[in-house]
Amino acid sequence: MAEESKPPRLDGEGKAGKKRKKKDPDLAAAAKRMKRGPGVDLKAIGDKKLKGKLRRSEDVISKSQKKAAAINEWLLPASAGALEAEGVERTWNFRQDAIVAAVDQTAAKKAFDLSLPDLGPYSVSFTRNGRFMLLGGQMGHLAVMDWQRSHLVCEVQVKETVRDVTFLHNETFWAAAQKKYVYIYDKRGLEVHCLRDHAEAHALEFLPHHFLLASVGEHGVLRYQDTSTGHIVATHRTKMGPCSVMRQNPHNAVLCLGHARGTVTMWTPNLTVPAVKMLCHQGPVTALAVDQGGHHMVTSGADGQIKVWDVRMLKPLHAYFAHSPPTSMDISQRGMLAVGYGRKVQVWQDALSSKAQSPYLTHQLPAGVLRSFRFCPYEDVMGIGTSAGISTILVPGAGEPNFDSLVANPFQTNKQRQEGEVVALLDKLQPDTIVLDPDSVGRLRKEPGEVAAQRRQEEAAANAARLAAQRREAEDKVKMKGKNRPSKRHRKKQTNIIEERKPTVKERQKQEADRRKEAAAKKAETVIPEDAPRSVRRFYKA
């Protein structure tokens, strides 16, 4: 045989070397979610060196995004909670006791009722890691609980009206807006500060990245106080009457206030006027909530409307109608919207990006009237404060299942908490970094051409004006000093002499010019004949 028969090629064997690794669409989508803002447009850059540098850095960024996505895909241990209905069942028909009965024992323990009928109604606040719950009864009952372990950390009776409560950067400090002032307590329940500047506050918010405690109240004055240094950073008079609806946008730390005339204003410590002012409702704004990513804001008014807004575009997305004006609203970490009024709490899934048709869960309070509620971070739990006490309900799929230990760790030890506090203080952001677009911090914006030109023009005008003023001043001044200086005297003499001689000199010059002109004319007149001999030619000269 001249030619050896080739073994049959296995399908795809030869191609294996060339074949590209197929892109996992899920991973690509996950990597896209890891993106922080748009990349650099390399085409627009002319500078080769810079282009190379930016290309390399963009490479690193995209690689790290892919890596982070892969890590998230493979290493995150937990998946989010869920509630599914089968057959004719509907999720909003499930009652709490049925849900509690269906889950494991540790989760079931998280749903509880505390009957505190005497000192309510209660407002609720959670720490950022979701481990501690702060209760503020309107009649002066303040308590901090390690709620999952049913452990009471501290309890105070201030015998004074308490309107709002909030934790500061961690569970060791918390603030309460009381009858006249705002007070700060520590984890033992001891009053450590009385903030007399914050008079008659109705609502409190703490901005954890900036260490700012903000309050607004009876006088409609918004105050920012730095809790690490104690300074009042800003005091803004809203001029829109008493205000008790305040929530922060977690994405950019802008404070949203809901006012009695239906407007919502957004404030930063750097502007004395609201950065944004929008008319949202007819009648007072009753509740307000902003989602984690800073994309959506939900407002509710006394007109019974619940409106969803795109906070970045400042446009209404869609509206829902409530049977009675909601008294409290909150958005969970995974974007569930809770609305409460009277004795009813509704939870809506996917109600922000699109208009949902039916609620996800409904809950009827067993006793009392609703005051406020909050979703617990990193848990499928909502804490509800009512006039009858405190209760928690299970909302499957509300919380982020995987925490980041370096951001908020529900299982942190004392040492970790202390270290985290130091790191947070070192990384504390200055109040002037609060802007509507937080990505603009650390970025230089090139001045537009016309603005630069105008600025230059103004500078030039100012300089010219200054110079002119200086000159005028110099001229106005009658200088006596140096008048008798030898050089000055000499110069004066010179000028005088010249002035005297000038007319005569001019006269003489004129005469000279006339004479020359005359001579030239004469010369032109005398024409030497062609035939005159050379010896006599000189006699023809004028």
Partner 1 sequence: MKVKVISRSEEEYTRERKSDLRKVQRNYDPQLHQFEKAHEYTRALNAAKLDRIFAKPFLAALPHDDGVTCLARNPKLVNSIVSGCADGDIRIWDIPGERTLRRLVGHTGAVKGISFAPDGETCVSAGIDATVKLWKVPYAPFEAGEVQEDAEAVFEFQGKNAFRGVDHHWDRTSFATAGAAVDIWDHSRSEPVQSFTWGSDTVTSVRFNPAEPDVFASTGSDRSIALYDLRRATPLRKLVMQTRCNALAWNPMEPFNFTAANEDCCLYTYDMRKLTSALTVHKDFVSAVMDVDYSPTGKEFVAGSYDRSVRIFGAQAGHSREVYTTKRMQRVFAVRFSGDATYVFSGSDDMNVRVWKAKASEQLGVRLPREKHKQAYNDALVERYKHMPEVKRIARHRHLPTAIYKAAKTRRAVTDSDKRKLQRRIEHSAPGSIVVKPDRKRKIVAQVE
Closest approach of partner 1 to the CB of residue 97, in Å: 12
Strands 315-321 vs 191-195: parallel, antiparallel or unpaired = unpaired
Binding-site member from 233, 278, 378, 390 for partner 1 (CB under 8 A) = 378
Does residue number 142 form part of the binding site for partner 1 (CB under 8 A)? no
Decide: is 532 part of the binding site for partner 1 (CB under 8 A).
no
Tokens matching residue 503:
């007319």
Structure token pair of residue 250: 């977690």
Residue 333 is a binding residue for partner 1 (CB under 8 A): yes
Nearer to partner 1, 111 or 201 (CB): 111
- Site for partner 1 contains 396 (CB under 8 A): yes
Nearer to partner 1, 441 or 513 (CB): 441
- Please, which of residues 10-39 interact with partner 1 by CB under 8 A? 33-36
Question: How far apart (Å, rounded) are the C-alpha atoms in residues 86 and 491?
Answer: 112
Name which of 292, 355, 375, 284 is nearest 326 in CA terms.
284
CB of 166 to partner 1, least distance (A): 18
The mark string for 236-255 relative to partner 1 (x by CB under 8 A, - otherwise) is --------------xx-x--
Amino acid of residue 483? K
Neighbour order of strands in the sheet with 122-126: 122-126, 132-137, 141-146, 151-157
Count of alpha carbons within 13 Å of 117, Cβ hemisphere only? 3
Under 8 Å CB-to-CB from 255, ≥6 apart: which residues?
205, 214, 222, 246, 247, 248, 249, 266, 267, 268
Nearest approach in angstroms of CB 416 to partner 1 is 7
Output the smallest distance, CB 235 to partner 1, in A: 23
Beta carbon nearer to partner 1, 34 or 436: 34
Work out which of 45, 54, 61, 80 binds partner 1, going by CB under 8 A.
Answer: 80
Provide the mask over 171-210, with x wherever binding to partner 1 is found by CB under 8 A and - wherever it is not: --------------------------------------x-
Applying CB under 8 A, among 10, 44, 88, 426 the residue interacting with partner 1 is: 426
Residue with Cβ nearer partner 1 (330 or 380): 380
CB of 255 vs partner 1, minimal distance in Å: 15
CA 400 – CA 376 distance, rounded (Å): 10
465: Cα separation from own chain's centroid: 40
Residue 296 pairs in a beta bridge with 310
Q: Does 275 bind partner 1 (CB under 8 A)?
A: no
210 burial (CB, 10 Å; 0-12 / 13-18 / 19+) is buried
13 — phi, psi (to 5°)? -70, -45
- List of residues 6+ apart from 303 with CB closer than 8 A: 262, 281, 282, 283, 325
The CA distance from 410 to 164, in Å, is 24
Q: Angle at Cα 516 formed by Cα 510 and Cα 520, nearest 5°?
A: 145
Q: How many residues sit close enough to partner 1 to count as binding (CB under 8 A)?
A: 68
Minimum distance between the CB of residue 408 and partner 1, rounded to whole angstroms? 8
Q: What is the distance between the alpha carbons of residues 255 and 216, in angstroms, rounded to a whole number?
A: 10
User: Given candidates 4, 11, 47, 104, which one binds partner 1 under the rule CB under 8 A?
Assistant: 104
**Residue 366's closest CA among 95, 126, 153?**
95
Determine, following the binding rule CB under 8 A, whether residue 75 of this chain makes contact with partner 1: yes
How far from chain centre, in Å, is Cα 288? 18
447 or 500, CB closer to partner 1?
A: 447
Strand (E) positions, 462-511? none
For the bound state, the minimum distance from the C-beta of residue 280 to partner 1, rounded and expressed in Å, comes to 25
Closest CA to 373 of 365, 364, 383: 383
Residue with Cβ nearer partner 1 (200 or 379): 379
Binding partner 1 (rule: CB under 8 A), the pick from 54, 81, 186, 275 is: 81
Nearest distance, CB of residue 433 and partner 1, angstroms: 5
Cα 201 to Cα 84, 272, 442, 535: the distances in Å are 43, 19, 34, 127
Q: How far is the CB of 381 from partner 1 (least distance, A)?
A: 8
**Among the residue ranges 180-188, 318-326, 436-444, 474-482, the one whose residues contact partner 1 (CB under 8 A):** 436-444
Pairwise CA distance, residues 327 & 341, whole Å:
5
If binding is defined by CB under 8 A, does position 349 make contact with partner 1?
A: no
* 427 lines the binding site for partner 1 (CB under 8 A): yes
Q: Which stretch binds partner 1 (CB under 8 A): 92-100, 182-190, 260-268, 270-278?
A: 92-100
Interface with partner 1 (CB under 8 A): 33-36, 68-69, 71-72, 75-86, 89, 94, 98-99, 102-104, 106-107, 209, 250-251, 253, 292-293, 333, 378-380, 394, 396, 399-411, 413, 416, 426-430, 433, 438-439, 441-444
